Homo-oligomer: A and B are copies of this chain.
């Protein structure tokens, strides 16, 4: 199958730059928290592009924007999309590429082929990042899957103490209507996204065929030692929370390196109290991010961490309390979906390789509903959640072409 539908090779980059004006931070950054004025303006732009492409556009009960290309036959819908909320600040590509790629694919299909046999929709989702409401990711896709609890919008608070319900009402959405966003008519879901890592770039590969999404285990660790004077307290009488925190950060790396494979381990956040040059720290709070593509290996890492923390508490004579901040099991995408992307990429003559996603994505939520997979394109320098995030226009177009021809196969 050579390329049947053409895409304006510069259009993806051009639309991305236009979308990046909403919530722009400096020359290349974007800060677009869900339900903010910038986010509303960006969703309105997405909707406007959908209508320009003569697609049927609607906003659902949580604010996801759906642009539909009807099929000549009825039936379940082939969906593509991603999110337009960002980190604070993030870059121009994370999420936005999948939204724009989906719109461009459906637009090109409609213009060059007319109606496909089966219906297609491109969706622009909300609050994938959890950058405004820290305790939820995948808000838009959770609504579609029907996994938002009754009353949850009232209790979720953003970093300024505003509830999700208030935030929704401020943009004209009614939380009581959330269940109406649930879909039961989705056939498949394909999401185009930047890799957010260095693998494709370092191997010179254009298309990443995503086999699954890494499982994630986030733990908050609170250490309580004893404050003491740094000049007068003998080393052997200390119960130093900062030293315990240091030992944990060293251990977490050693654990991940020792396990090898896809195991990752990160201590990204540390807070000491009282955090003074001449006081042995009384308390430390830190976070541990463990990830693995294999659930049993991830559980093994969690067990090794727990055993280490027990030993450390005894050895350092400190109290260590832990709390799970997030836990997602790994997701494996169905073989037929992965093969579809791989076959399409090869037929379009793009180099490709299979790889897992180390980051979480709406596709892992959509996978609860239907067969799903993802397409990755390279990120320069592997940068992610960074205002300098960049993907070459040729790679943006390549990813969009693979997305387009993959959904076309499904839709015919």
Chain A interface residues (CB < 8 Å from chain B): 195-199, 214, 216, 218, 227-237, 240, 242-243, 245-250, 253, 256-257, 263-272, 275-281, 287, 289, 291, 325, 357-360, 382-386
Q: Which listed residue, B227, B263, B275, touches A269 by the CB 8 Å rule?
A: B275
Are A266 and B280 touching (Cβ within 8 A)?
Answer: yes
Are A268 and B279 touching (Cβ within 8 A)?
Answer: yes
Are B268 and A277 touching (Cβ within 8 A)?
Answer: yes
Assess A268 versus B264: contact at CB under 8 Å? Given A229-B197, A235-B256, A250-B250. Answer: no
- Which chain B residues border A243 with CB–CB below 8 Å? 249-250, 253, 267
- Which chain B residues border A256 with CB–CB below 8 Å? 235
Assess A291 versus B231: contact at CB under 8 Å? Given A267-B243, A270-B242. Answer: yes
Are B218 and A277 touching (Cβ within 8 A)?
Answer: yes
- Can you report 15 A-B residue pairs in the complex whose CB atoms are below 8 A from each other? A196-B232, A197-B232, A228-B382, A232-B358, A232-B382, A235-B256, A235-B263, A235-B265, A243-B253, A246-B247, A247-B250, A268-B277, A269-B276, A277-B287, A277-B325
Assess A278 versus B267: contact at CB under 8 Å? Given A229-B385, A246-B249. Answer: no
Question: What 8 new A-B contacts, CB under 8 Å, besides A197-B229, A197-B234, A243-B250?
Answer: A197-B233, A198-B233, A198-B237, A199-B234, A214-B231, A229-B358, A229-B359, A269-B277
- Cα of A287 to Cα of B280 in the assembled complex, Å: 11
Are B267 and A242 touching (Cβ within 8 A)?
Answer: yes
CB distance from A197 to the nearest CB of B (A): 3
Are A253 and B268 touching (Cβ within 8 A)?
Answer: no
- Cα of A289 to Cα of B276 in the assembled complex, Å: 10
- Cα of A257 to Cα of B236 in the assembled complex, Å: 8
Assess A279 versus B385: contact at CB under 8 Å? Given A242-B270, A245-B249, A250-B246. Answer: yes
Which chain B residue shows the least CB distance to A262?
Answer: B234
- Which chain B residues border A269 with CB–CB below 8 Å? 272, 275-277
CB distance from A273 to the nearest CB of B (A): 10
Are B268 and A232 touching (Cβ within 8 A)?
Answer: no
Q: Which listed residue, B232, B245, B277, B382, touches A359 by the CB 8 Å rule?
A: B232
- Which chain B residues border A291 with CB–CB below 8 Å? 230-231
- Which chain B residues border A386 with CB–CB below 8 Å? 227
- Cα of A269 to Cα of B272 in the assembled complex, Å: 7
Assess A359 versus B289: contact at CB under 8 Å? Given A240-B253, A242-B267. Answer: no
Q: Which listed residue, B230, B268, B279, touches A281 by the CB 8 Å rule?
A: B268
- Which chain B residues border A272 with CB–CB below 8 Å? 268-270
CB distance from A229 to the nearest CB of B (A): 4
- Which chain B residues border A214 with CB–CB below 8 Å? 231
CB distance from A205 to the nearest CB of B (A): 15
- Cα of A291 to Cα of B233 in the assembled complex, Å: 11
CB distance from A329 to the nearest CB of B (A): 14
Are A268 and B257 touching (Cβ within 8 A)?
Answer: no
Which chain B residue shows the least CB distance to A325?
Answer: B277
- Which chain B residues border A198 with CB–CB below 8 Å? 232-234, 237
